[in-house]
């Protein structure tokens, strides 16, 4: 019995040092667990954050440009100033492509400033590609289209991304929107 305990003790010590105290405190007392799913909580980390950026054809290595690696290993230069992003996406939906379940498009419901930014984006980049970046990684290039005719709050992006990323964007869109646009009535509630 004592020999078994001596074998397990170093493993527990290693796990404790690698994981930190918070993980063990959370396991021991679930009521005091750190909640990272509440977008208004101080420990929330936004996931599947969407950004749409312009492509820089002739990089001059200025502070406004950034090199990005594509999935194929090529480099692409983008403008650091984001045209549109998660802070304006109130809701996201996955649109499966007919006949190919491994490729998905996205539908975004935008807030009012987002609609204006999207209209500017479409006007400035008509028939030109822009870059979809998720969590700082290049996903794809696409040509932005007009908002849906039936409902101008929604826009369809023909991006052709993998289902995991598309469903992650749809899952976290509302939480990310709440995180980037906090409820101002709660600012003074703790005074």
Could you report the per-residue pLDDT of 150-165, keeping only the tens digit for each? 888 999 999 999 999 9
Q: What is the pLDDT of residue 71?
A: 86
**34 CB-near residues (< 8 Å, 6+ apart):** 22, 26, 43
Distance CA 155, CA 149 (A): 9
Which residues make beta-bridge pairs with 157?
Answer: 106
pLDDT digits (tens, 9 = 90+) for 5-20: 566 556 555 555 555 5
pLDDT, position 37: 75
Q: From CA 30, how far away is CA 26, in angstroms rounded?
A: 5
- Structural domain span for residue 163: 50-181
Output the CA torsion sign for 55, 72, 100, 164.
negative
CB count, 10 Å around CB of 32? 9
- The three-state secondary structure class of 162 is coil
Q: How far apart are CA 85 and CA 88, in angstroms?
A: 6
**Domain identity same for 176 and 84:** yes
pLDDT score for 30: 47
- Is there a domain that residue 111 lies in? yes
Q: Between the CA atoms of 86, 87, 92 and 98, what dihedral angle is there, to the nearest 10 degrees?
A: -40
The angle at the Cα of 91, spanning 88 to 94, to the nearest 5 degrees, equals 120
pTM as predicted = 0.75
Query: Does 28 share its domain with 88?
Result: no
State residue 40's pLDDT score: 74
Positions of the chain with pLDDT lower than 70, given as ranges: 1-36, 185-191
- Which SS3 state, helix, strand or coil, does residue 95 take? strand
Listing DSSP states for 27-58 in one string gives HH-GGG----S-TTSTT----S-EEEEEB-SS
Residues 80, 12, single domain; the answer is no
Residues 96 and 62 in one domain: yes
pLDDT at 142: 95
Q: Count the neighbouring beta carbons within 10 Å of the beta carbon of residue 90.
A: 17
Residues 23 and 94 in one domain: no
Do 26 and 72 reside in the same domain of the chain? no
* 176 found inside a domain: yes
In this prediction, residue 13 carries a pLDDT of 59
Q: Is 88 in the same domain as 140? A: yes
């Amino acid at each position: 019995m004592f020999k078994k305990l001596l074998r397990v003790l170093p493993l527990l010590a290693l796990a404790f040092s690698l994981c930190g105290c918070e993980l063990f405190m959370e396991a021991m007392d679930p009521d005091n667990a750190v909640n990272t799913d509440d977008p208004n909580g101080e420990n929330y980390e936004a996931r599947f954050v969407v950004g749409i950026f312009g492509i820089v054809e002739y990089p001059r290595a200025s502070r406004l440009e950034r090199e990005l690696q594509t999935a194929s290993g090529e480099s692409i230069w983008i403008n650091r100033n984001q045209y549109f992003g998660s802070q304006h996406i109130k809701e996201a939906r996955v649109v499966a492509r007919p006949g190919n379940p491994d490729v998905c498009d996205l539908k975004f419901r935008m807030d009012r400033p987002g609609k204006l930014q999207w209209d500017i984006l479409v006007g400035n980049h008509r028939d030109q590609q822009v870059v979809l970046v998720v969590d700082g990684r290049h996903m794809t290039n696409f040509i932005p289209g007009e908002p849906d005719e039936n409902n101008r709050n929604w826009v369809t992006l023909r991006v052709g991304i993998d289902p995991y990323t598309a469903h992650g964007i749809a899952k976290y869109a509302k939480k990310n929107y709440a995180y980037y646009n906090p409820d101002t009535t709660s600012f003074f509630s703790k005074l």
